[in-house]
Amino acid sequence: MLEAFQLEFMRNALLAGILTSIACGIIGTLVVVNRIVFISGGVAHAAYGGVGIAFYLGFSPILGAAGFSLLISAVMALVTFKNKQRADTVVGVLWAVGMALGIVFIDLTPGYGVDIMSYLFGSILTVPRFDLVLMAFLDVLILILVVVYYNGFLAMSFDEEFAMTKGVPVKGLYFLLLAMMAFSVVMVIRVVGLILVIALLTIPPYVAEKYCRSLSAMMLFSTLLSCTVSMMGLWLSYSFNLTSGATIILVAAFCFFLAQVFEVLRERKWNRSESRDSKFSQ
């Protein structure tokens, strides 16, 4: 395993995985707790519109995806804040429009010769230094914002109405959460692609939720699990010559199903002990 990471592109890939894991652990936790996973998927797929526009206008696709994702997340926040029950319709429309715009603008780009698959399924082995610097900057920004507004996010995540009565700026925090989610999505696209974003953003927090009693512990556990998943996925993809992004997701999925099995076994053990205790008490 250590031999693989002696190569520079593998070290860059490992660093990209770690930086992405920090964002996924923190923002993914808030996404899972606030039950806006579908919205995160909508932002991820709509980001393809920014990629297409960037290619057409001739600037960085990552910057294009970031700007377009931020715009889409603001629209989604504005529409879904008061009526989250109907969020699926809005997300579905913006999801489709973003993807369609990306395809049309790429078709219109003269002399287009870039591999589209790298944005659909990720290209962690070719992450340039500029993207690593951008990821590090976004991680620092996310950490600062979450630390500063942690109590507000905590209140909003578990009892939104009570938070409003206590004067917590829930609407502003909701917009901020979706904006941070948009930037996190852009980071994850470089690792696993926009098709697989939802998995990496939600599987580690979902597993962490089963074993953590606080929001901060859930964020930490999720970050560590995401880092482990990224490292194992990279090593397996290098060893067996597999696509890195897809391999990382399969490792995450294995952790997901393993957690489900442990949960079932734990519940059965708990039920047996309860039935045994009730039997003796009689």
pLDDT of residue 208: 92
pLDDT of residue 193: 78
Residue 231 has pLDDT above 80, yes or no: yes
* Average pLDDT of span 240-255: 89
* Average pLDDT of span 103-131: 75
Query: At 112, is the pLDDT very low, low, confident or very high (cuts 50, 70, 90)?
Result: low
Residues 203/194, Cβ–Cβ less than 8 Å: no
* Average pLDDT of span 203-217: 91
How many other β-carbons are positioned within 10 Å of the β-carbon of residue 240? 8
pLDDT of residue 62: 80
Q: Using the 8-state DSSP alphabet, how is residue 2 labeled?
A: T
* Average pLDDT of span 101-112: 82
Query: At 191, is the pLDDT very low, low, confident or very high (cuts 50, 70, 90)?
Result: confident
On the 0-12 / 13-18 / 19+ scale of CB atoms within 10 A, 60 is: middle
Number of domains present in the structure of the chain: 1
Q: How far is the CA of 12 from the CAs of 17, 38, 40, 60, 175, in angstroms?
A: 9, 30, 26, 19, 32
Domain that holds residue 108: 4-281
Q: What is the pTM of this model?
A: 0.86
Distance, in Å, from the CA atom of 50 to the CA atom of 138, rounded to the nearest integer, reads 18
DSSP for 220-257 reads HHHHHHHHHHHHHHHHHHHHHT--HHHHHHHHHHHHHH
Distance, in Å, from the CA atom of 252 to the CA atom of 168, rounded to the nearest integer, reads 35
Residue 124 has pLDDT above 60, yes or no: yes
**Higher-pLDDT residue of 275, 202:** 202
On the 0-12 / 13-18 / 19+ scale of CB atoms within 10 A, 175 is: middle
Residue 183 has pLDDT above 60, yes or no: yes
Residue 241 has pLDDT above 70, yes or no: yes
Which of 134, 138, 119 lies closest to 193 in space, CA to CA? 119
> What CATH number did the domain enclosing 138 receive?
1.10.3470.10
Residue pLDDT, tens place only, 41-74: 888 888 889 988 988 888 878 888 889 999 999 9
Write out the two tokens for 26: 């923190």
Residue 6 has pLDDT above 80, yes or no: no
The residue type of 68 is F
Which of 38, 77, 56, 280 lies closest to 179 in space, CA to CA? 77
Residue 172 has pLDDT above 90, yes or no: yes
Q: Which parts of 90-227 are beta strand (E)?
A: none
Residue pLDDT, tens place only, 24-46: 999 999 999 988 888 888 888 88
pLDDT of residue 275: 60
